[in-house]
Amino acid sequence: MTHVLILGAAGMIGARLAMRIAENGTIGGQPVDRLTLADVVEPEAPAIAAAPAALPIETFAADISDPETAERLVCLKPDIIVHLAAIVSGEAEEDFDKGYRVNLEGTLRLLEALRAARHVPRLVFASSIAVYGAPYPERITDEHHLTPLTSYGTQKAICELLIADYSRKGYVDAVGLRLPTIVVRPGKPNKAASGFFSSIIREPLNGEVATLPVPTTVRHWMASPRAAVSFLERAATMDTQPLEGRRNLTMPGISVTVQEQIDTLRELAGQQRVKLIRYQPDERITAIVAGWPRDFNTFRARSLGFAPDRSFTDIVRTYATEEGIRL
C-alpha cells in the first residue's frame, strides 16, 4: 500500500493534488492508504463530501529549510513524495537568501535525509520552464541547454541536477517535471510577472477589470492546474526505467498567444467581458516576458505518456466549471 507525502500542500497545485487523492483514494490509479500534507503554513485537509473511509490524512506545519524538518518527514517513510514547496519566482529574486535557503538547501536537505535513512521513495520534483533562458529557438527541444535568467530558475536547475545524481546513485527514485506556466490560476491576482496570463481571463469572468501589460502578440507555454495535477500523478507512479538516467522532463503545454487567449474569452463569454481587459503597456514586464520560452517540442514527455491540455478553450471551460462560473 502507498503512503503519499505532499510538500507544499497548502499551495495552489498541492491543495488540488491533495483534493484529488482524497476524492479518488488513488494517485495515478494506484491505491493510497495514507496521505500526509506538509507546508510552512499548516495545510487544511481537503474538504470533500465523501472521503474514502480508509484514507487517513495528517497535516503538518513544516518548514523545509529548517534543518530538522527533512529528517522528521523521512521518518514517516512515505512511498511517494511530491515536492512542491518553493519560494516562487518574484520572491526568490527579491530575497536571494530565502530563495536559496528554501529552493536549494530545502531540497538538498530532503535528499540528504533520504540518503542517511537509506529510504528510497519515488520523489516527484516540481521544476519549471524558468530553467530556460533567452535566446532560444522558436521551439525548444529536449536537448536545449539550461541557462536560467533568475535565481528561481537557477535553483530549480540545480535541484534537477541533484535529483538526477541522487537517483543515479540509488538514493532516491526521482522525476523532475518542468511545469509550464499554470493558467488559469484561481484566486486573487498575485504579483508574479506572469500573473496577467491568468488575470486577463479570471478577472473578466468575474466581471472585474484586468490589466494587460504586454502586446497581444506575446506567445507563451501554458498548462491548466488540472493538467499539472495529472502530470504529478503520472510521475508519481510511472516506470522510471525508460528515463535512462535523464530524470527531468519538460511537460507538454500549449503554446498560446495573448490574442488567442482574448479570442477564446470572446468566444466563450462575449465581447462585453473582453472589454474589461485594459491594455496598459509596462516596459519592465514586457522585457521580462521577452526572456520567456514561447514553445517547446516535448517529444520525450509525450512518448512517456504525459498529455497536454487539448486547447485553450478547454482550459477556460474547465476553469469556469471548477469555479462554478456559467459561460
Ligand X SMILES: NC(=O)c1ccc[n+]([C@@H]2O[C@H](COP(=O)([O-])OP(=O)(O)OC[C@H]3O[C@@H](n4cnc5c(N)ncnc54)[C@H](O)[C@@H]3O)[C@@H](O)[C@H]2O)c1
Phi, psi of 57 (to 5 degrees): -120, 125
Residues 111 and 162 sit within 8 Å (Cβ to Cβ): yes
**Residue 64 interacts with ligand X (CB under 6 A)?**
yes
User: Measuring CA to CA, how many Å separate 121 from each of 76, 116, 133, 258?
Assistant: 11, 13, 31, 40
Rule CB under 8 A: say whether 146 interacts with its own copies.
yes
Helix axes 151-168, 107-117, angle to 10 degrees: 10
Task: Spot the catalytic one: 152, 166, 171, 319.
Answer: 152
Residues 99-158 that bind ligand X (CB under 6 A): 102, 106, 126, 128
Q: Which of 157, 175, 179, 301 binds its own copies (CB under 8 A)?
A: 157
Residues with Cβ within 8 Å of 262's Cβ and at least 6 positions away in sequence, in order, are: 200, 216, 274, 277
Q: Closest approach of Cβ 316 to ligand X, in Å?
A: 16
Strands 219-223 and 254-257: antiparallel
Beta carbon nearer to its own copies, 168 or 275: 168
> What number of other Cβ atoms are within 10 A of residue 143's Cβ?
9
Q: Pick between residue 177 and residue 273 the one whose CB is nearest to ligand X.
A: 177
- Find how far residue 127's CA is from the centre of its chain: 7
Cβ-based nearer residue to its own copies, 14 or 133: 133
| From the list ligand X, its own copies, none, partner contacted by residue 165 (C-beta under 5 to 8 A by kind) | its own copies
Nearer to ligand X, 185 or 273 (CB): 185
Name the site residues for its own copies (rule: CB under 8 A): 96, 133, 142-149, 151, 154, 157-158, 161-162, 164-165, 168-169, 245-246
Q: Which residues bind ligand X (CB under 6 A)?
A: 8, 10-14, 39-41, 62-65, 84-88, 102, 106, 126, 128, 179, 181-182
